Chains A and B, each alone.
Chain A
Amino acid sequence: MTTVEDASALLHEPVKRSILDRPRSTTGPWSWFTTVDHKKIAIMYGTTAMFFFLVGGVEALMIRLQLAQPNGTILSAARYNEFFTMHGTTMVFLMGMPLAAAFGNYFLPLMIGARDVAFPRLNMFGYWVFLFGGIFIYSSFALGGAPDGGWFGYAPLTSTPLSQGFLPGRGADFWAVGLIMLGIGSVATAVNFIVTALNMRAPGMTMMKMPVFVWMMLVVAFLTLFAMPPLTAALIQVFMDRNFHTNFFNAAAGGDPLLYQNLFWIFGHPEVYILILPGMAIVSEILPVFSRKPLFGYSVVVFSGIAIGFLGWGVWAHHMFATGIGPVATSAFSLSTMLIGIPTGVKIFNWLATVWGGSVRLRTPMLFALGFIAQFTIGGLSGVLHSIVPADTQQTDTYFVVAHFHYVLFGGLVFAIFGGIYYWYPKIFGKMLNESLGKLNFWLMVIGFNLTFFPMHFLGMQGEPRRTYTYPSGMGWGTLNLMATIGAFVIALSVLVFLVNVIFTRQRGELAPEDPWDARTLEWLTSSPPPEYNFAEIPIVTSRDEFWHRKYTEDDEGRLVKLPPSPEAEIPARRDPHEPHNIHMPSPSYWPFVLALGLPIMGYGFVFKLWWLLAIGALVTFFGINAWTTEPASEETH
């Protein structure tokens, strides 16, 4: 007769399920390859994306050098086209989206009081696909030409077979296959975020008690989930047209180039919100903390975000106002584009009202958040001008548009990201970034950014088109272009100050206090950096801004009143000597890495039509899938 103890002993018997022993260590350099800890994965996402930010930035500097004066000779036409294509591709797919994934990965579970994301191995898979996808696309520089069809890759320029020579090299193949790969990673991460936010919230945290950050990441995840498939379809068609002589976009054989534009922008416009909503998410957390006030109109901000998420699907053809889709269609998309300005405006006013009447501490994160509001508003307003279709036919594909979306994505998103880094650095690394260097970073970036992109509004209206590697003298564009180039180098200087700040802080930055900003949300209710399991005890949530309400209450006039210290508001010590042993965390795994490794191998097989290489990649992939599916999520360690 078996006893209960026997049964549990049987259960805990380590079972050898695969050819390799399961990795156990959660520390040391090798652990980075096998980790399933959302915080470690977030750090990997963040550092990799920042690396690509620097690469894309260098490409931008080269572009600006080439355009500083008429008839520039720094870059050849071919190199210029590669650089502007890769600058866009990098900043969208290898910087913007992964940085959102970094912040989401780190803080989404912490803010909802969870111990990890819903699918830790899928999470890790997403990162490796991103890294390999990025390396894959960039390897094209050494393997026969980088992508040079624009980040938007319009067919039939990109889809015409290589033999026609419409584009000089194999870049479009690398681009199409690489983006399909990155899309797989993005969808995996999106599914993970959705399930995590919906299913893993701490007890008591209803949907309307979730931090705005979590709400916006949830909207972003849904957008990503539905936006990637049409892009993938378009990319597969491009690749098929180019390599297997299909005719999806070949007008001479009955294909339709406009189909590509529709597919691309059905992805591409939601993509804009996929990029900017994380920025709004970060700013919505920073502003209340540094104003010592709750977010003004929480539910309106949340619903505005959701409204943007829905309306974002109905505006794609505003990228196609010059394509001749007819007055009825352009009018409809003009109106829907105007409409999406309303929830966006509501958010801006609510942020300002949040700061209004607060006790504003102008620390670096707050400066970046305020910079976000001002600059994003300028980008939003020029966007509203685009909705005036006739005006857009003068603005589209000119530097006016370049100015517009850089005000949104640099003045908005990048400023929010830097604000987020300064805000959460003490949480992630346990040290404070230097405040003086931070302010220098901020002001240099404000000056450099506006000097670069403000003149571009004028250049566009004066007739300078985008994506041109040269312009003749006598057009009157030289001065403003030179100004933009100087501005770009001021931005570079500001990024340099940031890097110095990070290095300085790592070397001898001061240790962060437990709650350096007097914060509001649950990620601060644990030590900095948090232990692997995040919370020794899952917090019970009773209100929005749970951590804040454990520290403060309001008097009858609504004024802030500090509560006496209580055990609920106590942050555990940095290294808890009584580390709990009864917390079951998911175990590390090799297989997501292996599975992700199979994809670029298949990718090279496709690009170079090396079918044996494709077969090897497929084998690695299937091996990874098989091993992954047959190993349990967590294994007992003895």
Chain B
Amino acid sequence: MAITVLAVLLAAPMLVVITAPWHAAAPEWGHVARTLLPGHLCETLLLLFSVLSVALAIAVPTAWILARYDFPLRSVFRWALIMPLALPTYISAFTYAALLGPTGSISIWMADQWGLRPDVVNLPGLSVVLALVLFPYIYLPARAAFAAGLSTQLEAARLLGAGGVLRFRRVALPLARPAIAGGALLLCMETLNDYGAVKYFGIRTLTTGIFRSWGALYDLGSALRLGLLLLGLVALLLWIERRSRQGVRQDTDQVASQRVRLRGGRAVVAIGWCSLLWLLAAGLPLGKLLVDVISGAGGPLMPGVSKAMGNTLLVAGLTALVTMAVAILFTFRERHGRRSDLAIRLANLGYAIPGAVIAIGVMALAGAIDRQEWLGFALIGSIGVLTYAFVVRFLAVGSQPLLGNLRQQRPSLDEAARLLGASPLRTFIRVNLPLLRPALLAAATLVAIDVIKELPLTLILRPFNFHTLSTLTYEMASIEQLREASWPALLIVLCGLLPVLLLEKVLARSPR
């Protein structure tokens, strides 16, 4: 019962957004719907489409090359090409703007040299920047699909006379479609979730619309309605992804395919392509941050940065602790209680929902409680509410590794414990939980790092005058102190590299 109540509590912000039209007055909705909504919706869809197109064009051929061919430095690129995952989109966007924006250092140099001044601070530019950061979401599952299976199908196609391009287009691509679709869904969700990059590039999306309705028009009801629209878009994407899987069964061979050795010019092309991609996606932004920090352009480590670091560690640690405690309770319920629990499944949906939507849901909820005078203190603007919102958003990150790991534990272990007189709770504490320890630590780390990188939710719900590394980076960048933003940005990226290393360690055990 208590676990169900907890699950309902965690699903509450979502329910608040879904039911907004029935309970939240929106005095400015007419104005928002007429003037703000069409442009924001249109640019959201345009951005989604263009980011997805560019990312697919980058990720799928790269995955194919690394899965099916062998060439010098291949093992280095395997790891290096997932490095962009460590970069929050807004940091990559700021560095690109600092390099290739209207006043960017490379733009100015090019103008001096050739009289040509490139400018990436626009929708096509942002699409490329976001695609460069987010393409690993597609590249990773596609590479796994191309590497682990399809050997026999591809050999059959080869014996039937199909050349390399035809085998890729007619056999490999359709069979890897479910994996690619799954990755594309994640990429779209990250694009919808983005606030820092789109705001800085001046693109109007539903997420920036939520900020505008709430921050400029002070109309929470309209913000909630935009959130509901965004939620609808997420649901539509989920539906499309599920539809795209229908009729395709991926029969992987579960053995690593033999890779073809590339030599001469072909090897050079493969190395050149992977190097260029790494340079644009990770090397350039990381290099820019490092140069700014090392050259002292970012200034010494300011007191503001160390304070933001302390705040970040506080909320990240607190969130990881609470999230893992909740995840452990849900895991116990999954193992020893009823298996299908709607409230728990709903509570785990938070990761699919943009941070800004969760933030306004929490804001509406906390606001309603704050209006009751008996409480004696305000929830909005407290670290408690910020932590609660983070738990809602990242619960799935904490609980899925535990659930996955738990499913690998043989039921006979529990049964043996029960027959030795242990209650379900004692069985969980003495048998299941100790075996979950590595997954528990990994999941807690992932949650903490997600919190460190998160921006839109933190911006809306943080206490007054409370900066985390992400909000400090964003704020400095938004007042054009891009060099000063390099310190907190670099610290975020260094934190983000940790799960990337973990991921590579896991992938190293899978078929190469």
**A-B interaction:** no
